[in-house]
Amino acid sequence: MSVVGLPEKVEICEVAPRDGFQSEHEWIPTKEKINIVRALAETGVRFIELTSFVHPKAIPQLRDAEEVVKGTEDLTNVKFRALVPNLKGAQRAIKAGIKIIKLMLSATDSHSLSNANCLVEEALQGFKPIIELAEKHRVVVGGSISVAFGCPYEGNVPIEKLIGIVDRYKEMGVKEVSLADTTGMANPKQVYEYLGVLRNEFPDMAFSMHFHNTRGMALANVFAALQQGVTKFDSSVAGIGGCPYAPGATGNVATEDLVHMMDEMGIDTGIDLDKMIGVAKSVKNLLGHDGGSYMLQAGPCSQLNPKPTGQVKLER
């Protein structure tokens, strides 16, 4: 451990190919998606959430999931993960060659009905056949909890709800759970306190964080999670993304901003910041916008400006 109790190294999972692209209304050509994934792989990022095997009518942008997987299968230096909403999605993912899948679950019934057309309990019960299928094919299964810190329909999510869901995941044999601040309602104090409780209740469970920057608190929330010993974070290049079923949702914390913060604190990510900023610029050019990236606006702290010429101290 380094100073102030922060970890020396973290793992960043790039989620732009799934979370970032899913909310784009204009079709992104499959070839362009593959090119972006390849460029991301060149930055040093070692974990990428490649797509979601969801019904094309629900998320039209991701209807080419199998093609994207096929177009990137030669990238052996990256571990690819896919989000699956149900058994059919898991079957498609495994058939396509995905080795890591993430289950989709909301913390509240209101968001679950909007996002998955089922109640939380129904979703949990549907996970058993998915996990059995994954075990049969030696595929790793991770859990997730959307709107973990606040629901746009029900407000604050009590910690007891999260404890109950994580306990169910534990019973199913899931060893890692992603806590998602889907609509950016979390604050650092809440993140620190919730993680303290969850890590105490489930010492053998690994937690990863998925923060959106809807209200500008994503990096602060990352720092709170770091202080609780969390070392796994999702982020999206250029800060793009957002849940189509969460009102007012914006993109994830920008990967380049997250890498920059870690670099400045001396925490190793294994990612080349300059290359990631380059990919962010490419994504912005491709989409015609970014999601609020500080690096695209101001650049890293190391990028100094030339001193103004002809500076004269004014006499008072």
Taking a C-beta distance cutoff of 8 angstroms, is the pair 81, 50 a contact? yes
Q: At CB < 8 A and 24+ separation, what contacts does 172-175 make?
A: 172/127, 172/128, 172/131, 173/131, 173/141, 174/103, 174/131, 174/141, 174/142, 174/143, 175/142, 175/204, 175/205, 175/206
Q: pTM of the full predicted structure?
A: 0.94
Residues 237, 36: Cα–Cα separation, whole Å: 10
The crossing angle, in degrees rounded to 10, of helices 188-201 and 218-227 is 30
Sign of CA dihedral 211, 217, 222, 224: negative
Rounded to 5 degrees, φ, ψ at 38 are: -65, -40
Sign of CA dihedral 97, 40, 270, 6: negative
Tokens encoding 206: 């690994």
Which entry of 13, 151, 243, 301 is annotated as an active-site residue? Answer: 243
Beta strands (DSSP E) in the chain are: 11-14, 47-52, 79-84, 100-103, 140-145, 176-181, 206-211, 232-235
Taking a C-beta distance cutoff of 8 angstroms, is the pair 147, 104 a contact? no
Q: What are the structural domains of the chain?
A: 8-298 (3.20.20.70)
pLDDT per position as a tens digit, 141-186: 999 999 999 999 999 999 999 999 999 999 999 999 999 999 999 9
Write out residues in the chain with pLDDT < 70, as ranges.
1-4, 245-247
Beta strands (DSSP E) in 44-121 are: 47-52, 79-84, 100-103
pLDDT per position as a tens digit, 178-230: 999 999 999 999 999 999 999 999 999 999 999 999 999 999 999 999 999 99
> Which residue from 74, 239, 73, 168 is spatially nearest to 82, judged by alpha carbons?
73
Q: Which residue has the tokens 């690819």?
A: 80
Sign of CA dihedral 67, 127, 245, 242: negative
Taking a C-beta distance cutoff of 8 angstroms, is the pair 15, 234 a contact? yes
Residue 151 a catalytic site member: no
Residues 303, 305: Cα–Cα separation, whole Å: 7
Cα maximum dimension of the chain: 80
CA distances from residue 91 to 47, 78, 132, 178 in whole angstroms, order as listed = 21, 22, 11, 21
